[in-house]
Structures are given as C-alpha cells and as structure tokens.
C-alpha cells in the first residue's frame, strides 16, 4: 500500500494521477486561428441580440479569430424532429468545429429566451466518445429592453457549467438595447461597446491559453476510474 492509499484508502491508486505543471505547457502550440461559434436568441427582424452578436463577430475577426454565426431560424424545438434535421446537423457540426463559443440572448420574463435554450438543448453532452462542448471556452452576453439586468447571463453561466465549458469571468449586459444601435445595425460608441470589446478580447485570450490543453484540464479521476472498470468488464467477458 502506498502512502497515498494509506492516507486515503477510498482512492483507486491506479486511477489517481497527481496534477503536473509541465503537462500544461505543450512543446508546440497550435498556430491556426481560434475557432469561435456565436449563437443568438431571437428571430425578430431587428433582433438586438443578433446585432450584438454580429458586432462581437466583427471584433473577434479583428482579433484574429475565425468565426461562424448560427442562424436559429428553422431550428425545430428539441424532440420535435430527429437529430438528422438539417438545422440540427448544422448546429452540431458547428459546435464540434468550434474551440470557443459566444451565447447572446435577450432577457424575456426574467430569463433567457426559449430560442436560446433550444439551441443549447440540441447540443448533446456527448456523441459517442466525443463531447462537443467539454473544455471549450464560453462568453455570455445579453440585451435588455429596459434597465440593466443579469438574469439571462447568469442562467447561461449555469448552462455553460452543465455543458462542461470554461466560461470566462467577464460578461456583457446591454441595457435599453434599442438605444445602443444605429439604423444600419452597428453599435454606437459607448461603455457598453467597450465592455463587449473587453469580453471578446478575454475570450480569445482564454481560448488561445486553453485550447491545446483542454483534454488535460478536463481529464477527471472519476471518469478514469469508470473507464478502467468498463474496460475490465469488457476484457473479462466470458462471451466475446
């Protein structure tokens, strides 16, 4: 019995691995552009969450990222169509492609919109052995029709944690969004715009910092233990 298991007899010694700092630094970092997927939560013709998302996309491109913006128009409600539906497949393919995401929703009745939630609900925690969102970065934003609120971004943070994403500390909430955009859809200069710049800058930095080491960051003792047990069961089956 080792000193570790003597101190902690509950541990499976074969699955217990000490965190190692050198594993957080790869000898060769990826050089491709950070891949960011942006989702917004409204279908209105003049959707302020969409306008804010498009502004964020321009900023991300200016910061050297490759961006994709998903249009939720035509996406069915979860469980109302098979996952072979073209819009569902498009969303899932984009989620798998991305290294980070931006979620932007209006606040409606004190919460994110159903359109926003439906997009997230269509992205599964796992597809076979692949987890489309685990270890990827996330930035959250919301637009408000009245005074500034944080209900939607707080909810999206909970969802980001549930999807095992690395949600960055900064966030954006734009109050009275109808006053913050020009007729052509561009965001006016303001403290709100400056905050969006801050959020996108932080997202790119966190994505560059974590994308290569995400598998190590989310490697868990409990899952290693479960995998070892499942492997043992499979290898020791009487009938193979």
> What structural domains does the chain harbor?
33-235 (3.40.50.360)
Residues 6 or more apart whose CB falls under 8 angstroms from that of 2 comprise 13
CA–centroid distance for 191 within its chain: 25
Per the document, the length of the chain is 240
**Mean confidence (pLDDT) of the chain:** 91
113 in Cβ contact with 143 (< 8 Å): no
What is the pLDDT at residue 225? 87
Confidence of residue 198 (pLDDT cuts 50, 70, 90): very high
Question: What are 70's strand-pairing partners?
Answer: 39
Which tens digits make up the pLDDT trace of 134-187? 999 999 999 999 999 999 999 999 999 999 999 999 999 999 999 999 999 999
Q: What is the pTM of this model?
A: 0.89
């Amino acid at each position: 019995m080792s000193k570790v298991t003597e101190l902690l007899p509950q541990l499976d010694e074969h699955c217990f691995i000490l965190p190692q700092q050198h594993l957080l630094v790869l000898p060769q970092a990826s050089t491709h552009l950070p891949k960011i997927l942006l989702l917004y939560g409204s279908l209105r013709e003049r959707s302020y969450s969409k306008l804010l998302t498009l502004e964020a996309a321009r900023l991300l491109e200016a910061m050297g990222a490759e961006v994709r913006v998903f249009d939720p128009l035509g996406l069915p409600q979860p469980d109302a169509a098979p996952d072979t539906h073209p819009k569902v497949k498009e969303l899932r393919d984009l989620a798998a492609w991305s290294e980070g995401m931006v979620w932007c929703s209006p606040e409606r009745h004190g919460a994110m919109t159903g359109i926003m939630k439906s997009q997230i609900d269509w992205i599964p925690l796992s597809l076979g052995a692949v987890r489309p969102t685990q270890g990827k970065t996330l930035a959250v934003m919301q637009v408000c029709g009245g005074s500034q609120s944080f209900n939607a971004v707080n909810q999206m943070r909970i969802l980001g944690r549930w999807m095992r994403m690395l949600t960055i500390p900064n966030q954006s909430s734009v109050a009275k969004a109808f006053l913050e955009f020009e007729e052509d859809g561009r965001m006016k200069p303001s403290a709100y715009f400056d905050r969006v710049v801050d959020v996108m800058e932080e997202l790119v930095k966190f994505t560059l910092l974590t994308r290569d080491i995400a598998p190590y960051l989310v490697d868990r003792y409990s899952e290693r233990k479960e995998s070892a047990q499942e492997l043992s069961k499979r290898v020791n089956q009487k009938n193979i």
